[in-house]
Amino acid sequence: MKKISFSLLLISLLSACASDKPADVAQAPAAEAQQPAAQETAPAQQTAQATAPVATDALEDPNSILSKRSAFFDFDKSVVKEEDKPVVQAHGQYLKEHADRTVEVQGNCDERGSSEYNLALGQRRADAVKKMLVVSGAGAKQVTTVSFGEEKPRATGHNEAAWSQNRRADIAYK
Amino acid sequence: MKKYIGNISLVLLMTFALSAHAALDIEITGAGEHQIPVSIVPFAGEDLLSQKISDVIASDLKRSGMFRLVDTAGKTPHETSEVVYADWSAADALTIGSASKLADGRVEVKFRLLDTHKQSQMLGQSVVARMDQVRAIAHRISDLIYEKFTGDAGVFSTRIAYVNKDGGMYRLVVADSDGYGEQSVLTLKHPIMSPSWSPDGSHLAYVTFEQGRAVTYIQSLYTRQRFVLAAFPGSNSSPAWSPDGKQLAIVLTREGNSNIYLVRPDGTGLKRLTYTDAIDTEPSFSPDGRYILFASDRGGSVQIYQMPVDGGFAERLTFEGNNNFSPRYSPDGNGFVYMYSTGGQFYIATMDFQTRQMQVLTDVGWDKKPSFAPNGKIILFATESLGRGILATVSSDGRVKQKMTPQQGDIREPMWGPFLK
């Protein structure tokens, strides 16, 4: 008997608190979180603003290899593909020449596998790109890494065309 | 009244509102091997309630796959004296009852479970509760009926957690195990991952990206307060509570690759458990607290390993499939459920520790993140239907399957909660 009443009481407590003021609790963290969101979704824009006074910055030249900011990966792999190496190496060289600039390498995965494994794999991809940037001349302190796992896909389809876009590490200038 | 086992008066401290509609559409396929035929007679007076008690009980029992509902043929006895047992011989048991409003606005629900063959009462109970708790009462009645017939505790009163992704919004949701009573615990414009229930059901640990990287939080479901469990440099993810609630296993990349650590719920006492250059992730405590299951690619492919809770030698447990992920112990500790990957598809499978035999339970090919109901009889997982992420369950023998489609959004990362003690 006691068991039932106690369980119901817990349910009611739990439910009560959960619905007490959902709007407040829901909005506060969302509002807090807005700033990083803006940063993440508009890295190109931000870079443009930051470097606007320097008209000759190769980062701004759409014809420069530096306009490419991504390295792509095979399924379940974290080795930078041969065709993307020149891109990563060029950014490594640029960072060497611009010691004041810093980048965040953001590792991503396709949606296959578990979300937690993909979070780990995305980190490994980001680390692989960081390693190549540093080998190419960037200072280790100029490069931070983060993994978004499968949580922030660029393409949303459930097919190889989308997946190949999402197995990616982006070089985001801060 | 004397025939009832007891009379419970509930002290209700706070208000809460139930969702008026189901947040999920439910589709059931398959059936248990030996279904128990039961008749659920509409309760007297239940038309006055927000939910019909007999409907909730019937729906619960049917979803379990263990019961077959026998039509009541329009007969509506509400008291034992009104039951003509000859009318009910097609059923093994019969549930009758009544609901009546009390002067103080509360409702009194009486129910009896009658054995139609022995012509005797199996269960009888009277509960006084607030009007908006009718559904919870019905679930408890379902639990009692289920336990009476199967010997296993019912899980109709337990809750589940999952993430609903709708456009750019992520909601961490707690709902009844049948998908009703959905309540948002947290709403963010950033991904939410890996909800994990504390053993007493009072807290959820989870991962969000609101700080720009994976950070693990703990939130009270009672006070709604939340705090950071781990925000070290790199990813802080995959929280799993120990059975005694005194520590969590967690995955950090602060020292390079993803490795498993232990930490107390207040964020202190960090202790590293794995030391590989591989990915070690998705820890799960054994019910006795002595071992941890996890996924690792230390052997080349991703496989399930088990190690003592203080670290040390990790034994590889899975050898079939290209990769295997997301292990969770069964509540009795005799086996585990995991995501089995072969040919680019993902299925839910179980493995028995003694026989080391695996059993694949699902066939959609996009089945992720399994967790056991606390009675070990049902497995909850995420799958896909018509391009949308949905919840699904499968009985642990693989016979009964259920799909629960949300009215909007994609469902991800489900986790079945514990019994509320």
Locus of tokens 């899975």:
B318
Inter-chain touch B258–A112, beta carbons under 8 Å: no
Inter-chain touch B282–A158, beta carbons under 8 Å: no
Nearest to B88 by CA among B97, B98, B99, B77: B77
ipTM reported for the complex, 2 dp: 0.90
Three-class HEC string of chain A: CHHHHHHHHHHHHHHHHHHHCHHHHHHHHHHHHHHHHHHHHCHHHHHHHHHCCCCCCHHHCCCCHHHCCEEECCCCCCCCCHHHHHHHHHHHHHHHHCCCCCEEEEEECCCCCCHHHHHHHHHHHHHHHHHHHHHCCCCHHHEEEEEEECCCCCCCCCCHHHHHHHCEEEEEEC
Rounded CA gap, B216 and B247, in Å?
A: 14
Question: CA of A60, closest CA in chain B: separation in Å?
Answer: 25
- Give the DSSP H or E segment for B98: strand B93-101
Query: What pLDDT sits at residue B24?
Result: 63
Rounded CA gap, A58 and A94, in Å?
A: 9
Q: Which residue of B5, B189, B218, B282 to mutate against A (max A Cβ within 10 Å)?
A: B189
Q: State in Å, rounded, how far the first CA of chain A is from the last one.
A: 61
pLDDT digits 0-9 by tens, A108-163? 999 999 999 999 999 999 999 999 999 999 999 999 999 999 999 999 888 999 99
B398 sits in the region (left: phi over 0; alpha: psi -120 to 50; else beta) called left
CB contact residues (below 8 A), chain B span 172-231, against chain A: 174, 181, 183-191, 193-194, 201-202, 208-214, 220-224
Query: What pLDDT sits at residue B48?
Result: 87
Which 3 state secondary structure label does DSSP give B365?
coil
Query: What pLDDT sits at residue B23?
Result: 55
Inter-chain touch B133–A11, beta carbons under 8 Å: yes
Query: What pLDDT sits at residue B63?
Result: 86
Query: What pLDDT sits at residue B373?
Result: 97
pLDDT exceeds cutoff 60 at A8: no
Residue B323 contacts A where some CB pair is shorter than 8 Å: yes
Give the pLDDT mean for A7-36: 40
Rounded CA gap, B83 and B116, in Å?
A: 10
Q: Give yes or no for a contact between B305 and B285, defined as CB atoms under 8 angstroms apart.
A: no
Residue in A with minimal Cα distance to B213:
A146
Inter-chain touch B137–A8, beta carbons under 8 Å: yes
Query: What pLDDT sits at residue B11?
Result: 28
Question: CA of A134, closest CA in chain B: separation in Å?
Answer: 16
Query: What pLDDT sits at residue B200?
Result: 96
Inter-chain touch B257–A116, beta carbons under 8 Å: no
Least confident of A3-7, A56-60, A121-125, B335-339: A3-7
CB contact residues (below 8 A), chain A span 69-98, against chain B: 76
Query: What pLDDT sits at residue B285?
Result: 98
Q: Give yes or no for a contact between B236 and B207, defined as CB atoms under 8 angstroms apart.
A: yes
Q: Give yes or no for a contact between A8 and B136, defined as CB atoms under 8 angstroms apart.
A: yes
Query: What pLDDT sits at residue B320?
Result: 92
Residue B14 contacts A where some CB pair is shorter than 8 Å: yes
Q: Quickly name the fold that domain B7-150 has.
A: Rossmann fold (3.40.50)
Inter-chain touch A11–B323, beta carbons under 8 Å: no
Rounded CA gap, B325 and B107, in Å?
A: 47
The CATH number of domain A42-173 is 3.30.1330.60: yes
Residue ranges of chain B with pLDDT lower than 70?
1-24, 421
Give me the residue spans of the domains in chain B. 7-150, 159-416
> What CATH code would you report for B159-416?
2.120.10.30
Query: What pLDDT sits at residue B8?
Result: 33
Task: Dump strand ranges (E) for B21-73.
Answer: 24-29, 36-40, 67-69
Give the pLDDT mean for A32-42: 41
Chain B residues close to A30, C-beta within 8 Å: 187-189
Query: What pLDDT sits at residue A55?
Result: 54
A55's tokens: 């008209």
Query: What pLDDT sits at residue B181?
Result: 85
Q: For residue A7, what pLDDT band results from cuts at 50, 70 and 90? A: very low
Nearest to B163 by CA among B417, B392, B390: B390
Inter-chain touch A114–B13, beta carbons under 8 Å: no
Give me the residue spans of the domains in chain A. 2-34, 42-173
Chain B residues close to A152, C-beta within 8 Å: 191, 209
